[in-house]
Each structure stands twice: as structure tokens, then as C-alpha cells.
Amino acid sequence: MTQFRKIGGIAVSVLFVACVSPQKVEVAVEPTVETALRPHTVQKYTDDLNLEGLNAQILEHIRFFRARPQKLKGELRFGPDQVRVETYIKSLEAFREKLNEVKKSPGASEQSLLEGFLPEHFDCYQVQGDGRWGEAFITSYYDPIIKANYKPTAEHPRPIYTNPRDMVLVKLDEFRQVFPRWSIFNMSEQKSSAPIARGRLLKRNGVQLVFPFYSRFELDTLGMMRGQKLELAYADPIDIFVMQIQGSGTLEFPDGKRLRIGYASQNGHPYFAIGKLLKDRIPTERMSMQAIVSEMRNMSSEDA
């Protein structure tokens, strides 16, 4: 703390010498790795979610580091403090042991864990938000887990494809530099800052030609890519649709095995948010992914 006071004193002294105008100037300072967190004493620990979810996420965190031995030799920074990764992982494992103990002990309560074990064995850090401490805006990423099968079934009829082998990318900006008139082709993608056209490379009369890639209707309803050994798995059509919107997800098979898959490519056709299509069915205040999925499942075949 003394060091910070000295630094602050120097800053104020310079300010008094340099300022010739009484006008106040506020300068926004971006937090650094060292200043984004600070040690903090919590008066009361509270948690409005169940401990099973916390336990599961801690386990995933441990697995992440254990699967990457090279990271175990490094250090993590928490504000002004540095902690060896191995020490950090051991602390999480100790936390999980306590969580399991609370779960198995009828007399133990979640509140006793929060009020006793955490303050005694763990350090707490406060996050700097938008210029203020403890008011950080935290977002999360939804990664769905969906039931899948190795073969098509009545419950899981829709294939999930890997990248097609005949897809080609046309970099339109390269053509624009040579042919200015090509500027009228203003195509863009969500995952690319440069204009790109996607298509299929086909041979016609000995000439290689590029055709537009299949539309969603051609892929999902007509099955234009079936039989090319590109199927990763099969799942419910709506579950697949949600996963495509999110960009990734985890497939869970009947034998208990899991496969995590992520965004690889797209068909190059314009994207239209399904929320706009359903705005007349779902009030704005109720609009969410859960509401969209529920509405889609209740649709008749004619509406779909």
C-alpha cells in the first residue's frame, strides 16, 4: 500500500506543476493484468446456485490443465499476486473434496462451507469493472450438450457434417483490385472481415466451374451431401440448429461417449436471424433461445 501512495503522490505533484488551467481532465485508464484484480475481504459469501454445478465446473477446469502438462509448469497472475499453476490446481482439488464432503454429510450445510471453509483457506479477489471495483459486467457462452447417435434413428434423423471436400472460396477483394466493377458484389460473412463467396468446384465438359454451394433446404431436406462419408453423427434437427447458431456444442452418445464439435465452415448463403421470423409469435420481453426452441417444437409442419 505504501508503494501505491508514493506513486499517487508523484502523480499529484506532477499534476500541480504541469496544470496551468483549472479545467479538470479525466483520463480513462485501461486495467492491466496486474491492476484488473485486487485482494478483497468479503463480509458475507452468498451463492444462489446449487453446489453440484459448481463442482462440475471445477472438475472441468482441473481437467483442462491436467490435459496440458506444459501449462502446469507456469504461473497464473491474480492482480499483484502470482500463483504456480500446480498450486492452483491442488487448491481446486481441495475445494472439490470439501464440496463432496458437504454433499455426503447430512448435517453439513452449503452456508457453513461458504462462511467457514472459503474465508479460512482461500483468498478472494475483486474485479475491476468499467472504471469501478466490483461492478464488472460478466457474460457467458452457452455450449449445448445434445443427444446424438452414430447412425440415423427416428429420434436422431439429421446428419451433422464435417467440412465438404468440394467447397472452394473465392476471395472477391482480390478480383476487385483487378476489376473495379466487381465492387457491386458486396458479399460478407459473420466469421470473415473480407468479402468471400463460397461455392462447389465442379467439372463440366473438361472445364472446372464454381457453382453456389447448397442451401439449407438442399442440405437438410434434400440431403444433397449424403453418401459422401462426411457424417460425424446424427441428432435432433432443432438441437443441431441451436448448436449451429451457438457455433459449438458437445454430442452425447448412447454409450456415454462425448464428442465436442465446433464451427468449421458455412454454406455462404445469407444469414437470417430466426428471432426476426418469430417476433410475431414471441413477445420481445420473452424472447430467448429457450422460448425459440419451445416455439419451434410446437410448430405444425405447415408453419415450419
Per-residue pLDDT of the chain (304 residues; tens, 9 = 90+): 433 333 333 333 333 334 444 555 544 556 677 778 888 888 777 777 778 888 888 999 999 888 888 888 889 988 889 999 999 999 999 999 988 888 777 656 667 777 778 888 888 888 887 667 777 777 777 788 999 999 999 999 999 999 998 898 888 878 878 887 776 666 655 556 667 788 898 888 989 999 999 999 999 999 999 989 999 999 999 999 989 988 899 999 999 999 999 988 888 888 888 888 888 888 888 888 888 889 889 887 656 6
**DSSP per residue, 206-219:** TEEEEEEPPPHHHH
Determine the 3-state secondary structure of 161 from DSSP.
strand
Quickly list DSSP for 254-298. TTS-EEEEE------PPP--HHHHTTTTS-GGG-SHHHHHHHHHH
CA distances from 171 to 25, 165, 180 (A): 46, 18, 14
Contact by Cβ (8 Å): 44, 38? no
What pLDDT score does 184 carry?
Answer: 64
Grid coordinates belonging to 282: 414471441
In angstroms, the Cα distances linking 24 to 20, 27, 301 are 11, 10, 65
pLDDT at 287: 86
Task: Select from 162, 149, 164, 301 the least CA-distant residue to 239.
Answer: 149
The sign of the torsion formed by the CA atoms of 96, 98, 103, 109 equals negative
Cβ neighbours, 10 Å, residue 224: 16
pLDDT computed for residue 12 by the predictor: 34
Dihedrals φ, ψ of 262, to 5°? -140, 175
Please give the model's pTM, rounded to 2 decimal places: 0.59
Residues facing 129 on adjacent strands: none
**Where do the structural domains in the chain lie, given as residue ranges?**
31-127
The confidence score (pLDDT) of residue 162 equals 94
DSSP 168-221: EEEEHHHHHHH-GGGGG----BTTBSS-EEEEEEEEETTEEEEEEPPPHHHHHT
Nearest-angstrom CA–CA distance, 234 and 203? 31
Q: What pLDDT score does 256 carry? A: 92
User: Which of helix, strand or coil describes residue 239?
Assistant: helix
CA neighbor of 156 nearest in space, from 250, 263, 238, 244: 238
